[in-house]
Amino acid sequence: MKKLPDIKQDFSGWYNEVIYDSELVDHAPVKGCMVIRPYGYAIWENIKDVLDARIKATGHHNAAFPLLIPESFLKKEAQHVAGFAPELAVVTHAGGKELEEPLVIRPTSETIIHYMYARWLRSWRDLPIKINQWANIIRWEMRTRPFLRTTEFFWQEGHTAHETYDEAYEEVRIMLNEYSKLAQDYLAVPVFSGFKTAQERFAGADITTTIEGIMPDGKALQMGTSHLISQSFAHAFEMKYQDREGKESYPFLTSWGASTRLMGGLIMTHGDQKGLVLPPKIAPIQVVIIPIFKSGTDNSAVMNMAKSIQEDLRKDGVRTHIDDEESKTPGAKFFHWELKGVPLRIEIGPKDIEANQAVVVERIEAAKRFISLTNLKFEVISLLDMMQITLLERAQARVHQMRHQSNDLAEFGPTLENDGKFYQTSWCEKAECEAALKEYKASIRCIVDGLTYKTCFVCKEPSKKEVLVARSY
């Protein structure tokens, strides 16, 4: 059977094969787009379900705004159009005719949503407005990789309007925290939370906050962002309302989004030489049951036992699958489900039934455990819980090892590219010092709390902000 590229020597090659071999995704006939196959989509659905429930629990409602946006809308906010213009896909013809005004496919929906909010907002009583949409987005990217950067991707985008700056800022913080919990508690991907520098902010935001995961190659992956949007949007779309004092006011706006990129972070963080490793909480199949058939005999007892184990696990909400295909050997099945990252495998054959046991193999450690059928459900659920914790701890330990401190770019810069290291350092807040990172294809991923060094990592002038520096996806 085909082997994946060496994950240590060729991480990028490994990623580019494992996503296809495990049937998460396939090449689409349109450049830079992806087809998310059923197995990949089932993971995305699990992620969506978790996040959607949290979005609703924090007081937001889903809605749907149009895919197509008049080109003139994007031009209403100067920074915004500058940021997105190079990436737009434009509809010029429709219904057999040339359109009077071209329509762009949404690269994000601030403009059209703000246009609608301006229609709906009359009084302070209409605030806050807290709406989310799950949508497809098009950004015409030059260099694409499935999940990490694609021309079309899937995301949720929340857009809110508030009476006060403090309330909007609190919203930004709450939703970033939701992203952080999603990443850590469900995807088992440790992340750093912090502010983006002015240079790295969303086009048109006053504040951009981010969660950044550190992948095994040392590169950072931005996995969710939450913005305090400039009030210039509210002005551009004439989003006026009568405030509590009866005066005309403009609301404070936020937006926040997380996308199918989360899938990329998940794959890279946990995968190994055998393939994907999926955290139990979001795995479409948590337990695969493989009946071991003996050729030339009646295998119905084995099959019945497999079904009975499945029924019992299902009652407790464990997502299971029985692989009873007869044209494949057990070995080929083990290989297949390891590649697909299923957390637990149960093998059950005639001898196991005689011994009132099953063989249980957990995806990370891969040692065979012989577990009494009487305790099977309890042990399976414990192992799944344990694996969820282990995956996060293992990833945290790796990130901890890769994290270094230094206050001299000349010293640490050359190690950024190939040594799988990232740095915490201190910065003077000047754009030219930040720009010096370009030489090493790196950037400030986020501003975090604290101040380790007294001087800037570039200019040696007094430092003001603590930053994480890394290359990135």
Provide the binding-site residues for a second copy, judged by CB under 8 A.
26, 28-30, 33-38, 40-42, 44-45, 61-70, 73, 85-96, 102-103, 105, 112, 115-116, 119-120, 125, 131, 136, 138, 140, 142, 152, 154, 327
Residue 239 vs 468, nearer CB to a second copy: 239
CA distances from 368 to 60, 265, 347, 455, 472 (A): 46, 29, 10, 54, 38
User: How far apart are CB 428 and a second copy at their closest, in Å?
Assistant: 35
Residue 258 vs 387, nearer CB to a second copy: 258
User: How far apart are CB 38 and a second copy at their closest, in Å?
Assistant: 4
Query: Which residues 6+ apart lie within 8 Å of 465 measured at CB?
Result: 426, 427, 429, 447, 451
Query: Which residues 6+ apart lie within 8 Å of 117 measured at CB?
Result: 129, 159, 161, 237, 239, 251
CA dihedral 70, 74, 75, 81 (to 10 degrees): -150
Residue 33 vs 303, nearer CB to a second copy: 33
Residue 44 vs 427, nearer CB to a second copy: 44
Query: Which residues 6+ apart lie within 8 Å of 325 measured at CB?
Result: 333
Here the tokens at position 25 are 């995704």
Collapse the DSSP code of 287 into the 3-class scheme (helix H, G, I; strand E, B; otherwise coil) and give the result: strand
User: How far apart are CB 143 and a second copy at their closest, in Å?
Assistant: 12
User: How far apart are CB 331 and a second copy at their closest, in Å?
Assistant: 18
User: How far apart are CB 101 and a second copy at their closest, in Å?
Assistant: 9
User: How far apart are CB 11 and a second copy at their closest, in Å?
Assistant: 26
Residue 26 vs 238, nearer CB to a second copy: 26
Gap between the Cα atoms of 136 and 108, Å rounded:
9
Here the tokens at position 19 are 């996503």
Residue 385 backbone dihedrals phi, psi, to 5 degrees: -60, -45
User: How far apart are CB 125 and a second copy at their closest, in Å?
Assistant: 7
Residue 328 vs 441, nearer CB to a second copy: 328
Residue 116 vs 223, nearer CB to a second copy: 116
User: How far apart are CB 172 and a second copy at their closest, in Å?
Assistant: 21
Residue 119 vs 454, nearer CB to a second copy: 119
147 class by beta-carbon count within 10 Å (0-12 exposed, 13-18 middle, 19+ buried): buried
User: How far apart are CB 91 and a second copy at their closest, in Å?
Assistant: 5
User: How far apart are CB 7 and a second copy at their closest, in Å?
Assistant: 26
CB 310 within 8 A of CB 322: yes
Candidates 270, 256, 272; CA nearest to 223 is 256
Residue 62 vs 372, nearer CB to a second copy: 62
Query: Which residues 6+ apart lie within 8 Å of 40 measured at CB?
Result: 19, 23, 24, 25, 263
Residue 116 vs 348, nearer CB to a second copy: 116
CA distances from 331 to 78, 290, 291 (A): 60, 10, 12
Gap between the Cα atoms of 205 and 169, Å rounded:
12
Cα–chain center distance at 343: 20
Strands 287-291 and 320-322: parallel
User: How far apart are CB 234 and a second copy at their closest, in Å?
Assistant: 17
Residue 95 vs 296, nearer CB to a second copy: 95
Collapse the DSSP code of 168 into the 3-class scheme (helix H, G, I; strand E, B; otherwise coil) and give the result: helix
Here the tokens at position 334 are 């083990």
